[in-house]
Structure 1
């Protein structure tokens, strides 16, 4: 079935609109240098640093306390847990 002239022009207009949206400048912080890494990039950086994911189940009250303390820790939750575990294991 042959396309009508109207349909051809409509498709051209859609392609043009899509290309202009893709070529538009990044706005509202998109593409900024401090943007968070995607999961794959973050995993590679973690592996290079020797970090290994470690999951466990903890009491909700304990988790709340950890989250509160991690907010003020310079390295966040990972740094806080590393510090606490190393101190506990050294005893």
Structure 2
């Protein structure tokens, strides 16, 4: 390998390590405790949640995001509320 390739690989390795590093606890109470995907999936299953992927128009997604920030609720809660209202009518 060339020296430039070795340096490039070192840089990629350092960037990967920086991305995987947890946020220090000093930025918040639970900032250091990041759940991995498996733990998050188990918590969601315990709450009875299932993943549900859909493809929507970008304008509609923008409206949903604006409404969620306006109401200060998560997108999951907003979409569940809107689907329940739609099915009830």
State the TM bucket, normalised to the shorter chain. 0.5 to 0.7
- Runs of 4+ in structure 1 off by over 6 angstroms are none
| Counterpart mapping for 1:52-67 below 5 A | 52-67=50-65
Q: Which runs of 5+ in 2 are unaligned?
A: 1-21
**TM-score under structure 2 normalisation?**
0.61
Quote the RMSD (CA, aligned, Å).
2.4
SS at 1:64 equivalent: helix
Higher relative contact order (CA 8 A, sep 6+): 2
Question: Which residue is 2:45 aligned to?
Answer: 47
Unaligned stretches of 5+ in structure 1? 1-25
Separation (CA, whole Å) in 2 of partners of 1:46 and 1:55:
15
Q: Distance in 1 between matches of 2:60 and 2:42?
A: 30
Query: Higher Cα Rg: structure 1 or 2?
Result: 1
